[in-house]
């Protein structure tokens, strides 16, 4: 990580009212450099120098502060996606769909595809999750289905 990137991450953490610890900076760097959503296990394997509780608390604080969003899926192992610049600590929203590849299992946030708002009588909707399954572009090329 460059000195400039490190400073950007410190500024992001400060904006979200979080202290800039080495763990938080490293995890933020990993999310910024990843093309896909990451699981707790992905982070834990990459940063074995941090204990599980610290990683867990870091991910939770990032969710609470509007930096990450949780992506549930059928495996029961949640993945986390980096929020865009439109999320603020006070206004955290991510009404986009997610794409899960049936071959590689990677999950991607598709920011350009919005989930419609649902007004269900006698219910209060807090969140809607949509996961579209299929074959990603990379895996499609590998199996010759471009």
Q: Which residues contact 93 (CB under 8 A, 6 or more apart)?
A: 86, 87
Q: What is the pLDDT of residue 93?
A: 63
Residue-wise pLDDT for 103-139, tens only, equals 998 888 888 888 888 889 999 887 778 888 999 988 9
Is residue 23 within 8 A of residue 47, CB to CB? The reply is: yes
- DSSP-derived 3-state class of residue 109: strand
Q: How many domains does the chain have?
A: 1
Q: Nearest Cα to 31, choosing from 74, 73, 71?
A: 71
User: For position 66, which CATH number holds?
Assistant: 1.10.10.10
pLDDT tens track for 53-75: 999 999 999 988 888 888 877 77
Residue 72, domain extent: 3-142
Q: Is 71 exposed, middle or buried (0-12, 13-18, 19+ CB in 10 A)?
A: buried
Mean pLDDT confidence for 38-56: 93
How many Cβ atoms sit within 10 Å of the Cβ of residue 88?
13
């Amino acid at each position: 990580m460059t000195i400039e990137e490190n400073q950007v991450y410190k500024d992001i953490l400060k904006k979200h009212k979080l202290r800039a610890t080495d763990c938080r900076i490293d995890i933020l760097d990993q999310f910024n450099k990843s093309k896909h959503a990451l699981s707790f296990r992905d982070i834990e394997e990459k940063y074995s120098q941090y204990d599980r509780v610290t990683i867990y608390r870091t991910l939770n604080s990032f969710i609470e502060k509007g930096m990450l969003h949780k992506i549930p899926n059928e495996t029961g192992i949640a993945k986390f996606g980096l929020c865009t610049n439109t999320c603020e600590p006070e206004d955290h929203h991510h009404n986009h769909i997610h794409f899960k590849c049936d071959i590689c299992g990677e999950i991607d946030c598709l920011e350009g595809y919005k989930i419609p708002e649902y007004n269900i009588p006698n219910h209060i909707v807090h969140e809607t999750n949509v996961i579209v399954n299929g074959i990603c572009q990379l895996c499609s090329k590998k199996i010759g289905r471009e």
